Amino acid sequence: MAPDHTDSAKAALKPGEVFGQYRIVRLLGRGGMGEVYEAEHTTLELCYALKLLPADFAARPDALDRFRREAKVMAKLQHPCIVRVDDFGETVGRYWLRMELVPGLTLAPGPDRVVALDDYAAALGGRIGQAELVGILNQILDALAYAHRHGAIHRDLKPSNILLGDPGPAGSGPVAKIADFGLVRLVGDEWVRSRAELSVRLSLSMGEGRTLDGVPGAEGEGTSTRAILGTYEYMSPEQKRGEDADARSDIYALGLMTYRLLTGRREIGFRLPSQIDPGLVPGWDELVGAALEPERDQRLAGCADFARLLQAVAGAVPAAPAARPMPPPLPPEVQTPPPPVERQSTREDRVDTALPASTRGVHCPGCGKPNDAYENFCVHCGGQLAAVLLTCAKCETLLGRDDGFCTECGTPVRKQDDR
């Protein structure tokens, strides 16, 4: 049965609205399998990410049993690279999951932040550098291997479900966390596949790049449609055929993510990554090819095989240039003063520093600053000097203003009128 496209815009919660024990702060995103809000717990005064499942999910006869069973599985996944689910419930007919709030990755320079891996790649021009991608993939692989050992398959691995955070003190790259682990199984593989197939048909009938935005009776469904289309794109061939997913299905999705993030190409053709960009390490070719085998029996068997090939790639990838850390600010008492500004000396400078000590005693009675002995008026404030002296240019003997010759050496006195 075709899924019912409920108008999710009408069901969206508004900032400030109270939803059970939570006060809605803002809408973080709307996807094919629900809406995510930043919400503050009214008692604890802590903020979380609140995932509301699609409104039509509650109408299913098996909704409650399926929700309780799969939500418990999700809550038991405790790994630093998996977005933590720590509570779940039902409020006014909507089932919800409470998750940790991932703050996002700061884009330098500036205050802008991105949360999902696809947004980060877009901010970088569609591609992620080899060394940085290796670091992100290692974190995803570690989380996937943990989940697979506990019997959990993601089934909807894609860049928008990889959330990023700023590097820790010892890290050089972004922290990666897998979100929505097990959500496809919670809402049902068949429900997701049928919704995805319908979205693909609608997208094809309305033209490439078009969504349900603007279609009567489907207001607000554009974002949801794009998310479902993203889910379909990263589905393994066996999932599209309606077969059960296993660990190799997640490997296929991870291989496709790797190919697209490396090359910036969305379509998988006959050209290998190093053929698209000769600057890429050839080892990527083997890794991507083995992960994207259409038949799962010929595909990489699991995370260990993927990690082995990735390790070989990492050994050949040039190290990413280390970001130069900014030095911490100095305390105010040891701040380095700015260098002096070079400028030409002024007449006042010469008066203060160039005169011999014997002639610097002619001070203005108004401002108290020293003056050249030849001056009748203060060069600082313009006031008349009380005692005007002259000095011999040869022996620097102080003379009276009426003296025509130096009383010591006989040199003619240079008066102000003569200058």
Q: What is the pLDDT of residues 294-329, one digit of tens each?
A: 999 999 999 999 999 999 999 999 876 544 333 344
> Phi and psi for 64 in degrees, rounded to 5?
-65, -50
Q: What is the pLDDT of residues 272-287, one digit of tens each?
A: 999 999 999 999 999 9
Q: Give the Cα separation of 83 and 75 in Å (integer).
A: 10
SS3 186: helix
- Give average pLDDT by consecutive 10-residue segment, the chain, 419 residues: 39 89 93 87 96 82 82 91 94 92 84 88 94 96 95 91 84 87 69 55 48 38 49 89 92 97 84 94 96 96 97 89 43 49 45 40 67 63 58 65 65 55
Name residue 8's amino acid.
S
Q: Is 156 a catalytic residue?
A: yes
Token couple for 404: 């025509």
Token couple for 304: 């260990």
pLDDT at 55: 80
Q: Give the Cα separation of 327 and 317 in Å (integer).
A: 29
Token couple for 417: 């009128």
Residue among 244, 243, 232, 251 nearest 290 (CA): 251
How many CB atoms lie under 10 A from the CB of residue 40? 16
- Give the β-pairing of 85-91 and 105-106: unpaired
Q: Give the Cα separation of 14 and 28 in Å (integer).
A: 12
The DSSP H or E segment spanning 68 is helix 63-75
**412 Rama sector, left if φ>0, alpha if ψ -120 to 50, beta otherwise:** beta
pLDDT at 66: 82
Q: What is the DSSP letter of 88?
A: E
What number of residues does the chain have? 419
Rounded to two decimals, the pTM is 0.67
pLDDT at 39: 97
Rg of the chain's alpha carbons, rounded to an integer?
A: 38
What is the share, in percent, of the chain residues with pLDDT greater than 70?
Answer: 64
Per annotation, catalytic residue among 118, 156, 250, 372: 156
pLDDT at 353: 41
Q: How many CA atoms lie within 13 A of 105 on its CB side?
A: 25
Burial of 128 (0-12, 13-18, 19+ CB in 10 A): buried
Q: Give the Cα separation of 408 and 312 in Å (integer).
A: 94
Name residue 280's amino acid.
L
